[in-house]
C-alpha cells in the first residue's frame, strides 16, 4: 500500500514541479525529487526508519 501511494505522489509531483520550479529555488525542487526517490527505495527495502526520516524531511522542505 505504501509503495502504491508513493508512486502516486511521484506522478503528481512530476506534474506539479514544473509550476513550482518557476516559484521556488531549483535546489528545493531537487531535494523534494531526491527524497521521493529515496522513500521509494526504502519502501522497497522495507526500511521503516530511513523511510520515516525522509518523509519528515519532505514535510519540512
Alpha helices, H only, the chain: 2-20, 26-44, 48-60
With b for 16 or more beta-carbon neighbours within 10 A and e for fewer, the 21-52 pattern comes to eeeeeeeebeebeebbebbbebbeeeeeeebe
Q: Mean pLDDT for each consecutive 10-residue tract of the chain (61 residues)?
A: 95 94 91 97 97 95 85
Q: What is the pTM of this model?
A: 0.89
- Contact of 1 with 35, CB cutoff 8 Å: no
Amino acid at each position: 500500500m505504501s509503495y502504491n501511494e508513493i508512486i502516486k505522489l511521484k506522478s503528481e509531483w512530476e506534474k506539479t514541479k514544473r509550476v513550482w520550479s518557476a516559484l521556488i529555488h531549483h535546489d528545493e525542487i531537487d531535494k523534494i525529487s531526491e527524497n521521493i526517490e529515496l522513500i521509494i527505495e526504502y519502501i522497497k527495502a522495507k526500511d521503516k526508519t530511513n523511510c520515516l526520516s525522509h518523509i519528515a524531511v519532505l514535510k519540512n522542505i
